[in-house]
Amino acid sequence: MDTKGKDMEKRIPKYDETFKKNLVSLHQNGKSQSELCREYGVSMSALSNFNSEISETCKTVLD
């Protein structure tokens, strides 16, 4: 039985939409990605994903 997949799932943090939007807003207002990652304990890839998600949501709303 492979338990690695299950263990990995448990370690992936889930961030709520408000948290994501706040980080994206801080980044758009001049805070660097590395600063945000250090301060809030998120990975660079997570922050990049937040930016993509929020941008896609805004684009969909505007279309």
Q: Where are the domains of the chain?
A: 16-62
Higher pLDDT, 63 or 55: 55
User: In the prediction, which pLDDT does 4 show?
Assistant: 57
The mean of the pLDDT values for the chain is: 83
User: In the prediction, which pLDDT does 21 show?
Assistant: 93
Residue-by-residue DSSP string for 2-45: --HHHHHHHHS----HHHHHHHHHHHHTT--HHHHHHHHT--HH
Does pTM surpass 0.85? no
pLDDT tens column, 15-34: 999 999 999 999 999 999 99
Token pair for residue 31? 């805070």
